[in-house]
Amino acid sequence: MTVGQWGIKVPKSKGESFRRYLLGSGEWCPNLKPIADGDFLVFPIVSDEITLPDELGCDYDIGRYEFESRERGREPARHELIGGIAIMQDDDREEAEYLLKSRPSIHTVLHCESPVFGEYRIKKFKVLAGRDTTRTNYIEYNNRFTIDLAVAYFSARLANERQRILGLMKEGERVLDMFTGVGPFPIALSKKASVIYAGDINPGAVELLCENLRINRADNVIPMLADALDLGGYLAPHSFDRIIMNLPMTSTAFLKTAFSLAKTGGVIHYYTLQSEKGEMLPVLRGFTSGRIDEKIVRSYSPTQHHAVYDIVCE
Ligand code: SAM
């Protein structure tokens, strides 16, 4: 059986590096077989919105391909996979049971019943099949996470973005993550940082963060149950080389605090949802005359995209 899916075409000589990267970042479709095409290989990928590290080079092409499925029988319904949990858009128990049977790594199938809501940025879920839980284990670039989708926000889609920031860091940096969730940024960055302060307003997120710090032995990360607006008071006179602001809908309100805590020459990574490129530049220019680089992380809806501004504080 063949399945239409996004594929990335790379020279055979670079096949192994791409294969390792795609597997590690969760971009790979494990149920589909790669295609050999002359001097090229085509790897099946989850989506065409893919961020690749510079060291892989720009010698690739993304398009639609017909891949051979590794499985017998029909394809299960479309779903997003996070660790052992599959999330289906449709409220369909029969499809959920089929999905559960056809993927041995899945322990639970959920239906997402709401968009992201509230201060904690979580969603409502209903269990369709398998174990009655919203909790699972997830591996991202060799880092292990316990997550609970009903308790705290988590998205695997920023996996490559976290590696990009790690690539920008120098050894020994002091880092602040103002909206840390269960800790994917600090745990990814802890390898290079001297210290990372990681805060969230959601007690459930901070509890999972503490567990994840323990699992990953990230001893240089300091967890904080805190409203980011209060961080100026708690952390002054600490000042940071790098600050992560990943609260895309509303983080503008926290820019003043972030700039007050950044060193001169420090960098703020400011994530936002916007309709137009450069939309936030006028606001950011009110805070710094330093260099500002903007990058699209992924598309979010037909009219909006998720962007990151890398801002040098001057
Ligand atoms: N950085 C994490 C990640 O990439 O998975 C989580 C990002 S999530 C979009 C935003 C987080 O900000 C949520 O965990 C939410 O609880 C937290 N949050 C919302 N308002 C906050 C505030 N005023 N102070 C601190 N954290 C806040």
**pLDDT, tens digit (0-9, with 9 covering 90-100), for 169-203:** 999 999 999 999 999 999 999 999 999 999 999 99
Whether residue 72 has pLDDT greater than 70: no
Is the CB–ligand 1 distance for residue 165 below 6 Å?
no
Count of other CB atoms within 10 angstroms of residue 215: 14
The answer to whether residues 184 and 162 touch, using CB atoms and an 8 Å cutoff, is yes
Check residue 77 and give its pLDDT. Answer: 86
Lowest mean pLDDT among 8-12, 27-31, 60-64, 130-134: 27-31
Is the CB–ligand 1 distance for residue 18 below 6 Å?
no
Q: Please compute the mean of the pLDDT values over residues 143-150 and round it to a whole number.
A: 97
Check residue 299 and give its pLDDT. Answer: 81
Amino acid code (one letter) for 117 = F
How long a stretch of residues is the chain?
314
Q: Residue 16: pLDDT band by 50, 70, 90 thresholds?
A: confident
Q: How far is the CA of 51 from the centre of ligand 1 (A)?
A: 23
More confident residue, 168 or 67: 168
Is the CB–ligand 1 distance for residue 202 below 6 Å?
yes
Check residue 294 and give its pLDDT. Answer: 97
> Domains in the chain, start-ordered, CATH in brackets?
2-68 (3.30.70.2580), 79-133 (3.30.300.110), 156-312 (3.40.50.150)
Query: Which helix (H) or strand (E) is 130 found in, with range?
Result: strand 125-130
Supply the mean pLDDT for the chain: 92
Largest CA distance in the chain: 62
Q: How far is the CA of 180 from the centre of ligand 1 (A)?
A: 6
Q: Residue 20: pLDDT band by 50, 70, 90 thresholds?
A: confident
- The residue whose C-alpha atom lies closest to atom 26 belonging to ligand 1 is 200
**Most confident stretch, 22-26, 212-216, 297-301:** 212-216
Is the CB–ligand 1 distance for residue 200 below 6 Å?
yes
pTM for the full predicted model: 0.79
Whether residue 246 has pLDDT greater than 80: yes
Probe target for ligand 1 pocket from 179, 235, 242, with the most ligand atoms within 8 Å of CB: 179
Q: Is the dihedral of CA 47, 295, 249, 187 positive or negative?
A: positive
What is the atom index within ligand 1 of the atom nearest the CA of 244?
A: 1
The half-sphere exposure of 5 on its side-chain side, counting CA atoms within 13 A, is: 26
Q: How far is the CA of 181 from the centre of ligand 1 (A)?
A: 5
Q: Please compute the mean of the pLDDT values over residues 127-153 and round it to a whole number.
A: 96
- Which two tokens mark 96? 């959920």
Q: Residue 79: pLDDT band by 50, 70, 90 thresholds?
A: very high
Q: How far is the CA of 182 from the centre of ligand 1 (A)?
A: 9
Cis peptide before 237 (omega within 30 of 0): yes
Is the CB–ligand 1 distance for residue 268 below 6 Å?
no
- Which two tokens mark 307? 């962007």
The answer to whether residues 274 and 305 touch, using CB atoms and an 8 Å cutoff, is yes
**pLDDT, tens digit (0-9, with 9 covering 90-100), for 261-305:** 999 999 999 999 999 999 999 999 999 999 999 999 988 788 889
